[in-house]
Amino acid sequence: MADDAKKKEIYEKLRNGVIQYDEDACKEGAQEAIDAGLDANEAIFDGLVSGMEEVGRLFEAQEYFVPEILMCADALYAGLDILKPHCKQMDLGVKGSVVIGTVEGDVHDIGKNLVKMMFDVAGFNVYDLGRDVPLDKFVEEQLKTDSELVCLSAMMTTSMVGMPKVIEKIKEKNPNCMIMIGGAPTSKELADKWGADGYAEDASNALKEAIKMVAFLKKLRDEKLKK
């Protein structure tokens, strides 16, 4: 087992790799963590996620903008891809699977991708349908995978109008499934009216929310470890 100094160094490398959107550093750091026999979950949360928290701060302070955020997320994924196969199933009280996609007629998926990142980090099984997804495909996929959660995204009002149909169909067949909607034209009122269980406004807000949720997961995990 690696000593504490080495461990700290590797986590710092992962953290900085995410903040400086340096994919190679993240890959190296992740490989070092595995080689040193470190706990993969810990490396994700104390390294990668801790970096993403700082990125969230930089974004709020308007030092980072959308391109940096996307590159940071790419760097996080580069590390995550290596660490994930070594992860033990986390027990945070939240686990399960989610179907996510941008609805038919819409090709905007930056926000969707950032939200997806949160689920990936949290250890969900993510079924990403991509963008411009036919409405029935959401229903089909939900039934097939029996996911607890379905996330629908749209940036244009014209494509958003397909959302209530999907919600209705899924709820009809599977009332317990939670549905979240997101994208610029959505609102809390619409979510309520259509019977969705949650909503996020746009990529920036989705990102803030996603990072907040990831940070919350990290806190949960830390508390659990303390006990």
113 vs 186, beta carbon nearer another protein: 113
Residue 109 interacting with another protein (CB under 8 A): yes
Residue 68 interacting with another protein (CB under 8 A): yes
**Residue 131 · residue 108 · CB < 8 Å:** yes
Stretch that binds another protein, among 47-55, 59-67, 171-179, 193-201 (CB under 8 A): 59-67
Q: How far is the CB of 4 from another protein (least distance, A)?
A: 28
Residue 65 interacting with another protein (CB under 8 A): yes
97 vs 204, beta carbon nearer another protein: 204
**Residue 183 · residue 153 · CB < 8 Å:** yes
Q: How far is the CB of 26 from another protein (least distance, A)?
A: 13
Stretch that binds another protein, among 36-44, 91-99, 105-113, 218-226 (CB under 8 A): 105-113
Question: Which letter does DSSP use for residue 34 in this model?
Answer: H
Q: Which two tokens stand for residue 131?
A: 């963008």
Spell out where 13-166 has E strands.
97-102, 125-128, 149-153
Taking CA atoms, 7 is separated from 14, 59, 84, 130, in Å, by 11, 28, 18, 37
102 vs 142, beta carbon nearer another protein: 102
Binding to another protein in span 139-158, by CB under 8 A: none
Nearest to 27, CA basis, from 69, 71, 81: 81
Residue 216 interacting with another protein (CB under 8 A): no
Classify burial at 58, counting beta carbons within 10 Å of its beta carbon; exposed 0-12, middle 13-18, buried 19 or more.
middle
User: How long, in residues, is the chain?
Assistant: 227
Which residues contact another protein (rule: CB under 8 A)? 20, 22, 65-68, 70-71, 73-74, 77, 109-110, 113-114
